Amino acid sequence: IHTDGPAATLPYDFVRLFIVSSEAAKDYSTPETAAEGFNSGKATIGTGPYRFVSWEPKGDLVLERFDGYWRGKGPWERVIRKEIPNDSARLAALKAGQVDIINYVSSIDYRALARDPAIEAIKGDSVYIMNLQLDQRQVTPKVRALDGSPLPENPLRDPRVRQAFDLAIDRQTMVDIVLEGLGKPANQLMPPGFFGSNPDIPMPEYNPDKARALLAEAGYPEGFEIDLYCTSDRLPGDGAICQGLGQMLTQVGIRTNVNAISRTVYFPAQARKEYSVFMNGWGTLTGEASYTLGALAHSPAPELKLGAFNRIEYANPKVDALLEAAAVELDEAKRRAMYEEAMALVVADRAYIPIVQLQTVWAAKAGRFDFTPRFDEETLAFFVRPRG
């Protein structure tokens, strides 16, 4: 691999890249032919513990064991991954013996399973941080006065207003009540311990009285109205968190209309920048800060391949400079310090407001499997082992 300069994060970037044989894929290299080639298995080639058999869109993915796997034989002769979008249907399939293990157990079901000796629930921290994003454009479409009239300027650009949003959020209640304990309060855009997360950032304060005072100081003593958008079907509890946010913001004077919608509608509209205030779940899938800060916190700069998911036009020149310097800094200690400083600046600016780190629950028949939850929430057959 040849780069046009120092590429400090290159090994991390490869975490989410999959190598494809050019020989196997030579007839399926165009947008028109790729889907047919890879979905059918004609272009599929690899060295993993299981080999591809078949896949139906929104249906079953069927794999069979590859006995020549270099790390040793997998524990299962055949693996079938089923798509069951409905939470209740997944749990019913497990209880009926139609499936062996399920993911994304809801908080309500998790509480019930604690009383069921036949089912074992397995909980793990998730890589995903739910965060609130506040549009920084001069004119924003989904914010208005309480009487419905347009405001003369975008209040979300005022640091006092953004701080009021932050102070209005009771993160511990969000975890304890809304998520039934399946989460942790979040103070930055990555889980603790990841490369570039800042251990010195304190947990945000919950102070609704101070939030109201800041709104009044900013010129909104009666508050204003917003439309809050989020997904209702992407991550565990996303719709419930959104509803909880709406109630908390409304209590301090930010009248909130909650729109918890399907991800198929949400993400295209978000990409078109149709929202002013929206909640997102972001996972640092490489385990280091450039993946998150480079995508979200750098000002949009396609020529640098930075800011690709900055939908709110957040811009801080100091953050930009730190991220650009870190990208070419090969000294790991110096690079970590740059990311930690950038993270502190982003948190202080409050255009992105962290809310909670999710926890994910899997469930299986009690005593059958050993399974270690993954941060990225993936369920890989090789890591599900028979017990005993």
DSSP letter for each residue of 208-242: HHHHHHHHHHTT-TT-EEEEEEEESSSSTTHHHHH
Is residue 192 in some structural domain? yes
CATH (domain of 341): 3.10.105.10
Range in 41-55, 136-150, 167-181, 212-226 the model is least confident about: 41-55
Do 142 and 267 sit in the same domain of this protein? yes
The number of folded domains in the chain is: 2
Residue 47 lies in a domain: yes
Window from 111-115, 210-214, 352-356 with minimum mean pLDDT: 111-115
Q: Is the pLDDT of residue 288 over 80?
A: yes
* 371 located within any domain: no
Residues 31 and 158 in one domain: no
d(CA 182, CA 87): 16
Which structural domain range is residue 24 located in? 20-83
Which CATH number belongs to the domain containing residue 61 in this structure?
A: 3.40.190.10
State the Cα–Cα distance between residues 119 and 114, nearest whole angstrom: 8
**SS3 (DSSP) at 383:** helix
For the cut 90, the answer to whether the pLDDT of residue 215 exceeds it is yes
Residue 364, pLDDT > 80, answer yes
**Is the same domain home to 138 and 76?**
no
> Do 277 and 258 touch, CB atoms closer than 8 A?
no
| 3-30: pLDDT as tens digits | 888 999 888 888 877 778 888 888 898 8
What pLDDT sits at residue 169?
99
For 383, the token pair is 């890591």
Inter-CA distances, 365 with 101, 121, 122, 369, 370, Å: 7, 9, 11, 8, 11
Residue 192 pLDDT greater than 80, yes or no: yes
